[in-house]
A = this chain, B = another copy of it.
Amino acid sequence: MSRGNTRQRIQDVALELFAERGYEKTSLREIAEQLGVTKAALYYHFKTKEDLVTSLFEDLVLGPADEVIDWARQHRPTTLETKLEILSRYSACISHATPMVRFMHENQAALRELSIGDEMKRRIFTLLELIKDEDAALVDQVRCTSALFTMHSALFTLDSSGAAPEEKRKAALEVAQELVSAAHHGE
């Protein structure tokens, strides 16, 4: 049948199920069944369940996030314009990985036990450091943290608004930029 793309198909189905039912609740049996293959086939492509989820992170968010971080590091000192551009770039990069972001957001407890969880946390933390000033007042730290969370959560909430994904993304970016601007003025 299909050749060579099995690995990809596993990742697709896995992400869908992980996002829908949660990491712990999703068994490899379910993934295999939905794909029409055996559990053992999954193990041919991924060493463990953790390995599978790790590959999803690496392919979908870790790389892109690193690019944003790299770009930011090459544009120091970090002016307000730079900060806004960071938000803009980050927004763009996560918009291609909506299910992943949702999964990340809604399974933080589960991810804490996975080594990839730390890895991702580190990225978020680094972005936060770039966006907020070192000695920012507490309220400004809250603003910056909130800016990041807002961009994440807007991707998969506001379903009732009936807005298109791209519109939601832009609205979230706007709010995030407002928050960071306010934090910047606060110095």
Query: Hey, which bits of chain A sit against chain B, CB under 8 A?
Result: 19, 21-25, 103, 105-110, 112-113, 138-139, 141-143, 145-146, 149-150, 153-154, 157-158, 161, 163, 167-168, 171-172, 174-175, 178-179, 182
Establish whether residues A175 and B24, one from each chain, have CB atoms under 8 Å apart when the complex forms: no
A-B contact pairs, 25 of them (CB 8 A): A21-B112, A21-B113, A22-B24, A22-B109, A22-B110, A24-B25, A103-B109, A106-B108, A106-B109, A106-B112, A109-B110, A110-B110, A138-B168, A139-B171, A139-B174, A139-B175, A141-B171, A142-B168, A142-B171, A143-B175, A145-B153, A145-B158, A146-B175, A149-B150, A149-B153
Cα–Cα, bound, A174→B146 (Å)? 12
Question: Chain B residues with Cβ under 8 A from A106's Cβ?
Answer: 107-109, 112
Cα–Cα, bound, A161→B142 (Å)? 10
Question: Chain B residues with Cβ under 8 A from A182's Cβ?
Answer: 178
Interface of A is mostly: helix
Given contacts A19-B109, A141-B171, A142-B174, 4 further A-B contacts (CB under 8 A): A138-B163, A142-B150, A142-B172, A149-B150
Question: Chain B residues with Cβ under 8 A from A168's Cβ?
Answer: 138, 142
Kindly name the residue among A24, A142, A182 whose own CB sees the greatest number of chain B CB atoms within 10 A.
Answer: A142
Q: How close is A173's CB to chain B, nearest CB, in angstroms?
A: 9
Establish whether residues B22 and A175, one from each chain, have CB atoms under 8 Å apart when the complex forms: no
